[in-house]
Amino acid sequence: MNQPASLLDIRLFVAAFEERSFTLAAQRENATQSGVSQHVKALEERLGAALFVRLKGGIEPTPAGQAYYDKCLDVLRAESAARESVRPFANSAEASLVVGLMPTLTRCALAPALARFLEQLPNATIRIVEGYSGALTRMAQADEIDFAIVPAFPGLDGLRQSPFLQTRELLVSRASNETRHDGAVRLADVEALRLVLPGAANTRRQTIETYCARAGARIDKILELDAMFGTLDFVARTSWRTILPAVLVGDQVGPALEAHALRDPALTLDLVRIEPARRALAPAAQVFSSLLQEEAARLSALWD
């Protein structure tokens, strides 16, 4: 009788599947390239089916490899959940988690949610990693964080995603003598619009430019800044404007800035929670995710 695959076999196969490379899988799992290759080959011999097509530039999964991968994720999640169930009985039951967040959430939503989390779980250890969506997505794929909140995107191997928040986009500018928050605006009504936007690598950039074209915005100039707090400070000091999610603006516009929801049409940002598909979300991570979601929804609702 063939021996069943070990957890190591499964982990190395999953890494190879998601990385499309034995070399990258080895780097991710702190193994050797030859070791990963040998484990996969032994798996194929036990299963009696090829799991990958070996190509010059890497590997591609076969239909058998895809089917096996889907079930392997179930195995790894079940093993992860089993380990979490034992945690309360371990010598050290303190929860420890790492969460990836964009500046969209760290400016206003993070602090209240974090304070509530530490009140509920005072012995928990939590580390917040701030970054943009591309870097956070790669960290989640590599199983370096428990979860991250990023803009919605098509699914990727190795990641599980779930809806987190839909928030309106706002036009933010230097405060004028008029009353702030005095209703929504149409970009078509704003002359010689000078916008501070994130760089092309940011997932929101293309969405904003497409919206501006559809809304008939008359853009005079675009300035690229991949620095959220720098953008806010620059807009507060100049006649430039920017477009930011309502959850980031929240209730902290400040005396130097004003913000207006966009209309005709409205523009929204969909955020999702992503996490490594091969393990179950720890209870402490679930608690923090829920608290963060509640605070983000409260801030976003201020602009509905």
Indicate whether 193 and 252 sit together in one domain. Answer: yes
**Distances 158 to 60, 102, 120, 247 between C-alpha atoms, Å:** 15, 20, 31, 28
| Whether residue 234 sits in one domain with residue 119 | no
Burial 107-137 (b: 16+ CB within 10 A, else e): bbbbebbbebbeeebeebebeeeebbbeebb
Domain membership flag for residue 259 = yes
Q: Quick one: 157 and 297 in the same domain? A: yes
* Beta-carbon count within 10 A of 89 CB: 7
Give the separation between CA 155 and CA 144, rounded to whole angstroms. 18
Which pLDDT does position 90 carry in this prediction?
Answer: 55
Query: 2 lies in a domain?
Result: no
Are residues 27 and 69 part of one domain? yes
Cβ atoms of 124 and 173 within 8 Å: the answer is no
- pLDDT value at position 183? 77
Which secondary-structure segment (H or E) carries 219?
A: strand 219-224
Q: What is the DSSP string of 96-121?
A: EEEEEE-HHHHTTTHHHHHHHHHHH-
Number of structural domains the chain divides into: 3
Q: Report the distance separating Cα 115 and Cα 87, nearest Å.
A: 23
CATH number at residue 104: 3.40.190.10
* CATH code, 35: 1.10.10.10
Out of 66, 86, 106, pick the residue that ends a domain.
86
- Predicted confidence at residue 182, as pLDDT, reads 53
Using the 3D structure, point to which of 41, 66, 86 is the last residue of a domain: 86
212-228 in b/e form (b: 16+ CB < 10 A) is beebebeeeeeeebeeb
User: Considering the domain boundaries, does residue 1 fall inside one?
Assistant: no
Residue 78 placed within a domain: yes
For residue 49, give its domain range. 7-86
The pLDDT assigned to 135 comes to 92
CA 285 to CA 281: how far, in whole Å?
6
Instruction: Extract the residue ranges of the chain whose pLDDT is less than 50.
Output: 1, 92, 179-180
Q: Which two tokens mark 166?
A: 């839909």
Do β-strands 257-261 and 159-174 pair in parallel, antiparallel, or remain unpaired? antiparallel
Confirm whether pTM is higher than 0.75.
yes
Phi and psi, residue 228, nearest 5°: -65, -50
Q: Are residues 31 and 153 in the same domain?
A: no
Q: Please tell me the predicted confidence (pLDDT) of residue 155.
A: 80
